[in-house]
């Protein structure tokens, strides 16, 4: 484990430069980084994570000036968006330049780029001296890691190093928007909300995969959104209901073994099941911060079946609902 010191950041940079893999902290989640311009190094990311080959990676930069070399051109609306929300938890997709290896774009002709705001992440990119391709540093399918310990739990023995930069600020992955389409399209919700995107871009479309499951035969605009994902071992069902109806429903389950509730702070005393909480009902930012930790805690406590209280889908809540929906393998019930 590397620490958040100048010496260890230099070590991380050296490992990355010679084609190695280092898990790094960012303000969203921990990323599993490799030199984005080295196709062989990037191929090792897919091996370490067990990631499907058709799921492209986000390229991370530490200065706006590094963007131009990665894309065919930067249209005005893309620059306006970057000026508004970079550095920060927003990923922008544009047609790619020739220096992006196919391993990064998974064969697509576009590339996703992000300029993270976390100072440590910027320093690691600087130390590497190259842009870094970095998907979340979890085993494919499991919840994204939001601290060094969760990263270690998944990546021990599979990569060269983890750099411990403390807990991630946001705790869900970046907002992903494509500007490679005529009308900008939100592919993955995150801490930068649809309202904030509209302030700069005007009209945007929300991809079908954001709030639901893609229909059979429809090609995913963002390949990552088609998978069951972010998922603990337990079988999760999202329950759309009032707290009262939720309590009545779970009353029938209380004598069954390993049935848990995933609920909001303050609800534990009303719900007749063992509970894991993930923030107050009205506080989407805290929910985004705690959701993945809560999912891992359910595993640690041996949960087999989980009924989850449904978050609001407003603002940052859209990102929370999107991740929980995938953790639940799209299983939703209404009371």
From ligand AMP, Mg ion, none, interface partner of 142 (C-beta below 5 to 8 A by class): none
Q: How far apart are CA 330 and CA 321, in angstroms?
A: 11
**Does 55 sit near ligand AMP (CB under 6 A)?**
yes
**Alpha-carbon separation of residue 163 from 127, 134, 137, 170, 306 (angstroms):** 13, 14, 12, 18, 33
- 190, 211 Cβ separation under 8 angstroms: no
From Mg ion, ligand AMP, none, interface partner of 120 (C-beta below 5 to 8 A by class): none
Name the segment binding ligand AMP (CB under 6 A); options: 56-64, 80-88, 260-268, 275-283: 56-64
Query: Mapping DSSP to helix (H, G, I), strand (E, B) and coil, where does residue 179 land?
Result: coil
Q: Classify the phi-psi angles of 258: left when phi > 0, otherwise alpha if psi is within -120 to 50, otherwise beta.
A: left
Give me the phi and psi of 91, to 5 degrees please.
-110, 130
> Helical H runs in 3-57?
6-17, 39-49
Q: Which residue number, 111 or 294, has a Cβ lying nearer to ligand AMP? A: 111
Q: How far apart are CA 74 and CA 60, in angstroms?
A: 16
Of 120, 151, 175, 222, the one binding ligand AMP (CB under 6 A) is 222
Pairing assessment for the beta strands 31-35 and 332-334 based on DSSP bridges: unpaired
Q: Binding-site residue total for ligand AMP (CB under 6 A)?
A: 20
- 89, 110 Cβ separation under 8 angstroms: no
Q: Contact residues for Mg ion (CB under 5 A)?
A: 135-136
Of 35, 105, 277, 287, the one binding ligand AMP (CB under 6 A) is 105
From Mg ion, ligand AMP, none, interface partner of 223 (C-beta below 5 to 8 A by class): ligand AMP
CB 257 to Mg ion: min, Å: 31
Query: Mapping DSSP to helix (H, G, I), strand (E, B) and coil, where does residue 223 land?
Result: helix
Residue nearest to ligand AMP (CB): 224
Q: Which residue number, 134 or 197, has a Cβ lying nearer to Mg ion? A: 134
From Mg ion, ligand AMP, none, interface partner of 108 (C-beta below 5 to 8 A by class): ligand AMP
User: Which of the residues 13 through 52 are near ligand AMP (CB under 6 A)?
Assistant: none
From Mg ion, ligand AMP, none, interface partner of 222 (C-beta below 5 to 8 A by class): ligand AMP
From ligand AMP, Mg ion, none, interface partner of 57 (C-beta below 5 to 8 A by class): ligand AMP
Give me the phi and psi of 284, to 5 degrees please.
-65, -30
Q: How far apart are CA 149 and CA 165, in angstroms?
A: 11
Of 4, 110, 169, 312, the one binding ligand AMP (CB under 6 A) is 110
CB 222 to ligand AMP: min, Å: 4
User: Which of the residues 127 through 186 are near ligand AMP (CB under 6 A)?
Assistant: 135-136, 173, 176
Query: Mapping DSSP to helix (H, G, I), strand (E, B) and coil, where does residue 182 land?
Result: coil
Interacting residues toward ligand AMP by CB under 6 A: 55-58, 93, 105, 108, 110-112, 135-136, 173, 176, 187-188, 222-225
């Amino acid at each position: 484990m590397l620490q958040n010191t100048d010496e260890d950041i230099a070590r991380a940079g050296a490992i990355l430069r010679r084609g190695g893999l280092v898990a790094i902290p960012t303000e969203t989640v921990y990323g599993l980084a490799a030199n984005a311009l080295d196709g062989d190094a990037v191929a090792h990311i897919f091996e370490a994570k067990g990631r499907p080959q058709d799921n492209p990676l986000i390229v991370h930069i530490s200065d706006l000036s590094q963007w131009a070399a990665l894309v065919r051109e930067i249209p005005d609306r893309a620059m306006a968006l970057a000026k508004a929300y970079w550095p920060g938890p927003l990923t922008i997709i544009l047609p790619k330049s020739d220096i992006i290896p196919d391993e990064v774009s998974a064969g697509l002709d576009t590339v996703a780029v992000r300029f993270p705001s976390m100072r440590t992440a910027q320093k690691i990119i600087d130390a590497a001296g190259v842009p870094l391709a970095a998907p979340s540093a979890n085993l494919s399918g499991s919840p994204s890691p939001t601290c060094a310990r969760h990263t270690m739990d998944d990546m021990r023995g599979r990569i060269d190093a983890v750099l411990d930069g403390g807990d991630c600020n946001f705790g869900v992955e970046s907002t992903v928007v494509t500007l490679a389409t005529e009308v900008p399209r939100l592919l993955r919700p995150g801490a930068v909300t649809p309202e904030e995107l509209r302030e700069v871009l005007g009209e945007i479309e929300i991809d079908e995969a954001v709030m639901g499951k893609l229909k059979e035969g429809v090609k995913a605009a963002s390949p990552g959104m088609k998978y069951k994902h972010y998922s603990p071992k337990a079988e999760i069902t999202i329950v759309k209901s009032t707290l009262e109806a939720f309590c009545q429903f779970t009353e029938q389950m209380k004598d069954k073994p390993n049935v848990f509730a995933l609920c909001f702070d303050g609800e534990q005393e009303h719900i007749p099941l063992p509970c894991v909480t993930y923030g107050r009902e009205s506080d989407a930012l805290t929910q985004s911060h705690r959701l993945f930790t809560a999912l891992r805690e359910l595993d640690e406590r041996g949960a087999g079946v989980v009924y989850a209280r449904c978050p609001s889908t407003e603002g940052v809540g859209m990102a929370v609902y999107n991740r929980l929906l995938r953790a639940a393998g799209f299983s939703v019930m209404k009371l």
